[in-house]
Amino acid sequence: MPGGRRGPSRQQLSRSALPSLQTLVGSGLSNGTGLRCRNSGAVGLSAPPFTALITPEPVRHSRIPDLPLDSNLLFESLLFLYLLNFHLMDYHLAVFITVMLARRLVWTIISEASLACPSSLVWYVALIVTRLILLTLCGWVLCWTLVNLFDNYSVLNLLFLGYPFGVYVPLCCFHQEGRALSTPPECSFSEQDGSDGPLLQPKDFLTLLRENLREQFSSPANIPTHTCPPSPELIRSEVEELKTDFNRRIKEVLFNSLFSAYYVAFLPLCFVRSTQYYDMRWSCEHLIMVWINAFVMLMSQLLPPSYCDLLHRSAAHLGRWQRLEHGSYNNTPQHIWSESTIWPQGVLVRHSRCLYKAVGPYNVALPSDISHARFYFLFHKPLRILNLLIGIESSVILYQLYSLLRSERWNHTLSLGLILFCNYYVLFKLLRDRIVLGKAYSYPLGSSGLGIKS
């Protein structure tokens, strides 16, 4: 068209319309953060920060009701009764297995008794004496059963009695999880059962063994609480604390579920006499079902809805980064990642010579940290763990009903019927929590004051 151009070119318009980094995220650039375009390098921005035009919206959390949770004493009693099955078993072996499975129940009874009664010198001395008596009694019973089993079985059979502890020591005692620095005092993130010092000192083997064995006798740990301000450093520190606590709970669930399945369904098979016959297929199915059911029961007790909601809130503050291929989004503003910046959704940053895109509405995670991405994936949906447990428990119940219909032996029918009663109770609690939490999380955050800002 004659007369020449009447306005700026498309390339000039796109460059002049790009907002600055302060416009995008509303933070200073004293650490050398720059803006990268397609045909230009990093451009330092020295202008003072002004009101942000595009800022991350405050993270809003849903308030969930306080769902009832089984007490420690009730849960340990149900788990202990569920695991009892001593038909046609050597009574020495049955006593040994009973003592091993009852360790948590006995310790829970003592702990509940110490908390329920008023503290006094007489009660404290009585409690110490009771613990010593129980410990001595358990040790005497174990020694008595081992001596009788040694007279009737070979040494190879006796080695199976302590196999779980031989696996537990190298897996749990030589791996020490910790943090370099504790949570700063500005973030009131605490655990009621105590915390370590500012620096985790290396611990010797006996100390680690004593602490890990104490966990097997202790009740489920208290749920952490937090009221953390929206600071990137504090959010990442809180996530590290929660990762350590979650891994410890998962370790306890895995060990105790495998421990229960081993002593209930596998160890009796190692002491079967040559004159006895057992169904190998049924024994394998029984072993798998005991392990899965114990796993779901422990998961529902150690990861209650309030704890999963805490992980979900931290994941919402953490955010996630999606790695992009080189050469993509060349015409989009690209920034240098800063650890002190809260990045909004959709912004592109460069970190360690890689391009990342902000996925969450609130992003402070380290782009190259895989554990941060895994934490966000697991917990940014608050019902993911609960749905997984419901799926597992429902599948087990359906398979047990199918096995019950095609069962031809009375002992199989009786065992499946007793196991199903316990599974129905566990599934009822999971479905109750799922229905209540589903309504709570689907409720609009801005209505009736149910949405609270972080």
| Length of the chain in terms of residues written | 454
Structure pTM? 0.74
Secondary structure (DSSP) of 426-447: HHHHHHHHHHHHHHHHHS-TTS
Distance CA 396, CA 419 (A): 11
In a domain, residue 237? The reply is: yes
Beta-ladder partners of 324: 355
Distance CA 319, CA 314 (A): 9
List average pLDDT for each run of 10 residues in the chain, which is 454 residues long.
Answer: 46 39 40 43 38 58 81 86 74 88 84 72 81 87 90 84 75 49 38 41 60 58 63 88 91 90 89 78 89 94 91 90 80 84 88 88 90 93 94 95 88 85 93 93 61 38
CA distances from 410 to 138, 414, 415 (A): 35, 6, 9
Distance CA 356, CA 337 (A): 9
In a domain, residue 102? The reply is: yes
In a domain, residue 273? The reply is: no
The SS3 of residue 180 is coil
In a domain, residue 145? The reply is: yes
Q: How many domains does the chain have?
A: 1
Burial (0-12, 13-18, 19+ Cβ within 10 Å), 350: middle
Question: CB under 8 Å to 134, separation ≥6 — which residues?
Answer: 106, 110
Distance CA 383, CA 376 (A): 13
- Domain range holding 163? 71-180+206-252
In a domain, residue 83? The reply is: yes
Beta-ladder partners of 343: 363
Is residue 285 a contact partner of residue 403, using CB atoms and an 8 Å limit? Answer: yes
- Block residue for tokens 């955050």: 445
In a domain, residue 158? The reply is: yes
Distance CA 344, CA 348 (A): 10
Burial (0-12, 13-18, 19+ Cβ within 10 Å), 423: buried
Question: What's the pLDDT at 157?
Answer: 82
In a domain, residue 16? The reply is: no
CA dihedral 58, 59, 62, 64 (to 10 degrees): -120
Distance CA 445, CA 132 (A): 53
The residue type found at 119 is S
Is residue 355 a contact partner of residue 337, using CB atoms and an 8 Å limit? Answer: no
In a domain, residue 118? The reply is: yes
Nearest to 226 by CA among 298, 317, 303, 302: 317
Report, in angstroms and rounded to the nearest whole number, the Rg of the chain calculated over CA atoms.
29
Nearest to 253 by CA among 389, 162, 390, 429: 389
